[in-house]
């Protein structure tokens, strides 16, 4: 825990489409990926 009493969720990175191939083939040791879905939504959702 930290000073805000949040659990330690590990180390994460932003998931980008240009990295999909590398991630799927190498399976890096990453605790989680941040998916920025708003980058792929069309106007109006």
Evaluate whether 14 touches 34 at the Cβ level (below 8 Å): yes
Look at the chain and report how many structural domains it folds into: 1
**Domain coverage including residue 8:** 1-45
Residue 44: predicted pLDDT: 64
Residue 1: predicted pLDDT: 63
Weakly modelled stretches of the chain, pLDDT under 70: 1, 39, 44-45
Residue 41: predicted pLDDT: 74
Residue 17: predicted pLDDT: 85
Residue 27: predicted pLDDT: 94
DSSP letters spanning the chain? --TT-------EEEE-GGGHHHHHHH----SEEEE-GGGTPPTT-
Residue 17, CA distances (Å) to 3, 27, 29, 36 in order:
35, 15, 18, 10
pTM, rounded to two decimals? 0.56
Residue 36: predicted pLDDT: 79
């Amino acid at each position: 825990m930290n000073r805000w009493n949040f659990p330690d969720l590990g180390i994460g990175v932003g998931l980008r489409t240009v990295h999909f191939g590398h991630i799927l083939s190498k399976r890096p040791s990453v605790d989680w990926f941040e998916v920025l879905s708003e980058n792929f939504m069309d106007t109006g959702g």
